[in-house]
Amino acid sequence: MSAGPVDTGVAAMESRPPFPYKGPEALRQAIVDALTRVVDPEVAMTIVDVGLIYGVTVTDEKLHVLLTMTSAACPVTDLIIEEVETELDRVTPPELLIKVELVWEPPWSTDRMSERAKRFMGW
């Protein structure tokens, strides 16, 4: 399905999350790392570098992810959501409910992509 090698990016190595994060500092890096392991197979880049994560909020009971797609017609939406849930489940306490919410506002644009992703795409 992918057009070439997968670029896992450097998002996980950044000192701050590449998306808005509200929650315990102790979980922040594990969540960033988990989301960075999820690859959009259509572009062979992480969903973090593509800019699909609009935000993460963690409370005592719930981890809430705001996620978008590059297009409403994305054929791999369900796969990406499932992988997000799986990766987050691996790094969070078992009692934490993981909720991935698909959002369309604001619309995704290439401005959301990391500089690394833009270079990878040749832009």
Q: What's the confidence (pLDDT) of residue 122?
A: 87
User: Is the pTM for the entire model greater than 0.75?
Assistant: yes
The arrangement of secondary structure in 11-109, i.e. its CATH architecture, is: 2-Layer Sandwich (3.30)
Q: Letter for the amino acid at 33?
A: D
32's CB contacts (< 8 A; 6+ apart) are: 11, 12, 14, 17, 18, 21, 48
- Give the model confidence (pLDDT) of 62-108 as tens digits: 999 999 999 999 999 999 999 999 999 999 999 999 999 999 999 99
